[in-house]
Amino acid sequence: MKRPALAAGTGVGAAIVALIGVLVLFVAAVANGAASHQQQTPAGGPIPAGGQVGDIPPQMLALYRSAAPAACRGLDWSVLAAIGKVETDHGRHPTMRSSAGAVGPMQFLPSTFKGYAYPVPPGGANPPTPWDATDAVYAAARMLCANGAKAGTSQGLYRAIYSYNHADWYVNKVLAQARQYASAAPRPGAAAGGGGSPIVRAALDQLGVPYVWGGGNINGPTDGGFDCSGLTSYAVYQGTGHKVVLPRTSQQQRNVGTAVSRDDMQPGDLIVFNKHGWGHVGIYAGGGRMVDAPRPGKSVEVISLSGYWEGYAWSVRRVT
């Protein structure tokens, strides 16, 4: 039998409504207190669907890819991206403020942010602020690392995400979104014929990482990014199972391995260009394309070898 609605203004009905209101406020207070970092419900409200990497703004994708290895070697970029998606849809939320006081694209309480804001990341605001995307993404990576992500285990990652927002549903939502991003990550080299090369795959994993002169080594980005020879050093080392360590500069890399002709190039071969004295190097991805860390202001990308690069002398080297 359907119960009649309680009258809010009289007698027992009013008392019950008042009691319910008190309980609601109490539960809300407990929930806010339990979340040491941010709100239980992300500022973005209902989470927009979409697991494709194309959903991520290029600037944010570059930050996720650079911050994860730079701040925490055990952390995959897809987890940072998933948190950015769940919290504010990668900074698209109109206010980026929560009812619990968390702010910015990664939804930090200002007091929590201070514990993970330094050192100031390349391109970040100084003094750092949770409203700045670079500062916020790097701080999020550091917080996750400090709370378990650096272990590189599923248990450690679960603890790290739980520390970000104390709710099991939140952890599960982030992990599901991270899996979608990781599985949907673009592999341009595969379409170009180079997806079977582990060197090409290692290079493609760094798509979107900013160019930093002198940046990068066999373990990943340094100072927030890669230069051209830093990227090739990383990709060859990772792609050969930690067997081949290249010399650091493009001029030196011109003499590694075995020389091959342009007609015999295979995905994973290095191409060193006589640009200001053999001053640039990239990784052949197949299909007339190259994985490249080009210059300041750009990020790791896949480019065509036709046109611009045809005007330089090439030295093609096979290092496997």
pLDDT 10s digits, 161-185:
999 999 999 999 999 999 998 887 5
Mean pLDDT of the chain: 83
pLDDT above 70 (res 26):
no
The answer, yes or no, to whether residue 276 has pLDDT greater than 60, is yes
User: In three state form, how does the secondary structure of the chain look?
Assistant: CCCCCCCCCCHHHHHHHHHHHHHHHHHHHHHHHHCCCCCCCCCCCCCCCCCCHHHCCHHHHHHHHHHHHHHCCCCCHHHHHHHHHHHHCCCCCCCCECCCCCECCCCECHHHHHHHCCCCCCCCCCCCCCCCHHHHHHHHHHHHHHCCHHHCCHHHHHHHHHHHCCCHHHHHHHHHHHHHHHHHCCCHHHHHCCCCCHHHHHHHCCCCCEECCCCCECCECECCEECHHHHHHHHHHHHCCCCCCCCCCHHHHCCCCEEECHHHCCCCCEEEECCCCCCEEEEEEECCEEEECCCCCCECEEEECCCHHHHCCEEEEECC
| pTM, to two decimals | 0.56
How confident is the model at residue 57, as a pLDDT? 85
At 54-109, the pLDDT tens digits run: 788 877 887 888 888 888 878 999 999 999 999 999 999 999 999 999 999 999 99
